[in-house]
Structures are given as structure tokens and as C-alpha cells.
Amino acid sequence: MDMKEDNIAGESLKESAEELEGGRKAPLWKRLMGLALRYLVPLLLTVALVWYMFQKVDFSDMMDIIRHGANYYWILCAMGISVLSHVCRAARWRLQLKALGIKPPFMALCCSIFGCYALNLVFPRLGEVWRCTYISNRQKAPFTTVLGSMVADRLADTVMVGLLTVLTFVVATRAINDFLVKYPIGKDLVELVSNPMFWIVIGAGVLIVWCMFYFLRHTSVIKKVREWTGQLWQGFTAVLHMEGRGMFLVYTLAIWSCYFIQLYVAFYAFSFTAALCHEQGLAWGLVPCLVAFVLSSIGMAVPSNGGLGPWNIAVMFGLAVYGISDQDGTAFSMLQWSGQTVMLIILGIYTMIYISLSNPSRKKGNAEAHV
């Protein structure tokens, strides 16, 4: 965000790399490979998935649907709900940090979340490192402690995605089965899961991993992996024992309710998705929205710039389960994604202004100037 905080973020990343190398600076080729894996691969993956998506649709027809077939009022409503989800996430993180004795201003926490998602639009996954660096620097708290709270934050979201996935297969079993049988990717998936060799390979992989952890447990690499695994587990279990864990659950439900509602609200922006909301047999569109929502949440696990590509394709598949064409599904996903992106850019600008005006060193300098 500002120069000082960029330097701190860079120093933190540098220290992490040196720790992984046993306290020595990593060779140039390893650092370059790390940067490529962190930034170049997500960018290439984003381009490849977007190219794949637009191979299935006519771009001019899709833009015509967006220009003349969309009600932008509902997109604006979805944008507003997305801001509320970020505020709830900041409130949840405040509970975790408070349990660790770290008490930043609530607005600083909100801006750390805003800046995190805005930065992820350009540098996938770097936003999480930045928000931890910003809070640790502002509160003079250990970076690793703040990072551990963020890991627990993400693990809670992973659990929610898992529970929602189970719920989706329960309430939409027939539609999902019909889709898997109808589309070639579904047939391939069914055949793959039905093949005993698939499960043999999975079992062999698990056995190999177990053997590596057992017989190579004294090597530095395995020790480091076990150490990180232990820290992840400690970060997750800390949530179960901290004060305010009831509110942690409430905020978690609020965050994911906002995510779901903003997608459901966007259904009313197009006639073809709004039609799903008028069918009583589909629970007034709640079930189709849940299918698209869960698939898109899983798609966000794929590293890309702001979810562009995997998120859109996942939404397309979710809508295709209920007969929405690829053309319409792409138009819906692109407009919804674009609305969220615009909102993140606005929030990112607001974050930069807030950090600039609330910089402690800047305030100190102004106070000295008045003396």
C-alpha cells in the first residue's frame, strides 16, 4: 500500500525464504522459480481458463446479453452485500486477534480485508501475506502469530465449503446425477470413480505419503512439513478454546450467508436465472443457486487473478445443471464477477487512503511540525 509497508512485506517474505533454506539465502534460480510459481502460473492458468470459457461461447452475443438483458440494480445490490461480508470477516478476525492479545482498530481490520482481496486481483494469494504484515506492523505484534490466526480463518472457511458441498449433494442429487450423465465430463468422472484401479492408485498414494513421513521423519524437509502441519492444526484448534467462539460461529455463518445471498440476488439480474427463482419445485431458485455457489466456492481454490476463469467456469457448470446455456451462463458469471471486481477496486482505493491518513509515523511528523 504505502512504501514503508511494501518494504516490510518484502522483508517478511525474504525472512520466510531464508528460514526455509536453513537461515541461508536461497539461490537465485530457486527464488526465480518461487516467483514464477507464485505469480506466473496463476496468471497463465487464468488466461488458459478464460480462453477455454470463450471457446464455448460467442463473445459478441454474450456482450449483447450483458448490455441489453441485465438489470444492473440487482448487481449493485450484490456489490453492497459483498462489502457486508468483508466487514463480517473483519469482525470474526478481531475475535481471534483479541484472544492473542492483539487489538487493532476495527476500521484497520476492515481495510486489511479490503486490501487483501484487492491485492489478490493482481497477485493471487499475496493479499493474505499483506494483511498479516499490515496488522503485525501496525500493532507491533509477531508476524507468525498473526499469520497463525489467518490460517485458522481460512481453515474455518474450508470446513464451511465442505459442509455446503455435502448439503448440495443431498438437496440436488437428481439434478447433479442428470448433469453428470448428460455431459462428457460427467461420464468420464463416473467411469473414473467406478474403476477399482482409481481407488487402488489413491490408496497407494496415501501409503507412499505415510511411508515418507515415517521413514524420512528425521530429514529436514519432513520435519519442516510436520512443523507446518502442527502449526496449522494448532491454529485451528485455538478457535475451539478461545473466548467468543460462539460469536466466531455466528460471524462464520454471516460471512457465508452474505456470499450466498449476493449470488442469489444476482439471479434476478437476468431473465433466465430469475425464471429459476419463480419455480416452486426448485425452492424458488435456492437449490440452483446453492449448486452454483458451492461449485464456484470450490473453483476459488484454484489460484488465479481474483478468481477469473475457474470461478466463472464453475458458475457456468452450476447453471448448466438446470438447463442454462453456456452463452447465458457466461454472461451471468462475467457480469457478476465484474461487479465484484469493481467493488474490490473501490475498496482497495479506500484502503490506500485510510492507511495513508492513519499512518502513525505521518501523524507523529505532523505533530512535531506543529510544535
Q: Using one digit for the tens of pLDDT, what is the confidence trace for 134-153?
A: 999 999 988 878 888 888 88
Give the C-alpha separation, 337 to 349, whole Å.
19
User: Based on the domain organization, do 10 and 131 belong to the same domain?
Assistant: no
7 in the same domain as 111? no
Give the pLDDT score at 312. 87
In this structure, the answer to whether residues 104 and 12 fall within a common structural domain is no
pLDDT of residue 257: 96
pLDDT in tens, 61-71: 777 878 888 99
Residue 261 cell numbers, joined: 445471498
Any domain includes 22: yes
141-143-144-149 Cα dihedral, nearest 10 degrees: 70
* Cα–Cα distance measured from residue 108 to residue 132, given in angstroms and rounded to the nearest whole number: 12
Q: Does the structure show a pLDDT above 80 at 125?
A: no
Q: Using an 8 Å Cβ cutoff, are 97 and 104 in contact? A: yes
Rounded Cα gap, residues 144 and 141, in angstroms: 9
Confidence band of 247 (pLDDT split at 50, 70, 90): very high
The answer on 78 and 11 residing in a single domain is no
| Residue 169 maps to a domain | yes
Position 38 scores a pLDDT of 58
Q: Flag the least confident range among 48-52, 72-76, 155-159, 349-353.
A: 48-52
- Residue 76 pLDDT greater than 50, yes or no: yes
Task: Indicate whether 248 and 343 sit together in one domain.
Answer: yes
Evaluate whether residue 214 is within a structural domain: no
What grid cell was written down for 120? 489478490
pLDDT of residue 62: 75
Q: What is the pLDDT of residue 89?
A: 96
Q: Which of 104-108, 141-145, 305-309 has the highest mean pLDDT?
A: 104-108
> Tell me, what's the pLDDT at 93?
93
Burial zone of 168 (CB within 10 Å; 0-12 exposed, 13-18 middle, 19+ buried): buried
Residue type, position 323, single letter = G
The residue with greater pLDDT, 183 or 163, is: 163
With bands split at pLDDT 50, 70 and 90, how would you rate the model's confidence at 281?
low
3-12, 84-93, 347-356, 360-369: segment of lowest average pLDDT:
3-12
pLDDT value of position 238: 67
Question: 265 and 134, same structural domain?
Answer: yes
Residue 304 lies in a domain: yes
Above 80 in pLDDT, residue 154?
yes
Q: State whether 4 and 133 are in the same domain.
A: no
CB 260 within 8 A of CB 131: no
The separation between CA 130 and the C-alpha centre of its own chain, rounded to angstroms, equals 15
Grid coordinates given for 306: 481474483
Per-residue pLDDT, 17: 41
pLDDT digits (tens, 9 = 90+) for 9-57: 444 444 444 443 444 556 666 666 665 555 565 666 666 666 766 666 6
Same domain flag for 258 and 137: yes
Whole-model pTM: value is: 0.76
Q: Is residue 366 part of a domain?
A: no
Same domain, 333 and 255: yes
CA distance linking residue 171 with residue 314, whole number of Å:
18
Domain span at residue 24 reads: 1-35
Count: domains in the chain: 2
**Per-residue pLDDT tens over the stretch 313-328:** 889 888 988 889 888 9
State what percent of residues in the chain have pLDDT above 70: 73
Residue 249 and residue 152 in one domain: yes
The H or E element that residue 342 is part of is helix 326-357
Q: What is the mean pLDDT of the chain?
A: 79
Contact status, residue 337 vs residue 76, Cβ threshold 8 Å: no
Q: How many CB atoms lie within 10 A of CB 47?
A: 14
Q: Is residue 158 domain-shared with residue 302, that is, in the same domain? A: yes
For residue 198, is it within any domain?
Answer: no
* Rg for the chain, CA atoms, rounded: 23
The more confidently predicted of residues 322 and 254 is 254
Cα end-to-end distance, the chain, whole Å: 29
Whether pLDDT at 86 is above 70:
yes
Question: Does residue 55 lie within any of the structural domains?
Answer: no
Whether residue 82 is found in the same domain as residue 165:
yes
Q: In the predicted model, what is the mean pLDDT of residues 259-264?
A: 95
Asked if residue 176 has pLDDT above 80, the reply is no
* Digit-coded pLDDT (tens) for 184-229: 555 666 677 677 887 888 888 889 888 888 888 888 888 877 777 7
Q: According to the model, what pLDDT value does residue 190 have?
A: 62
Q: In whole angstroms, give the CA distance from residue 241 to residue 234.
A: 11
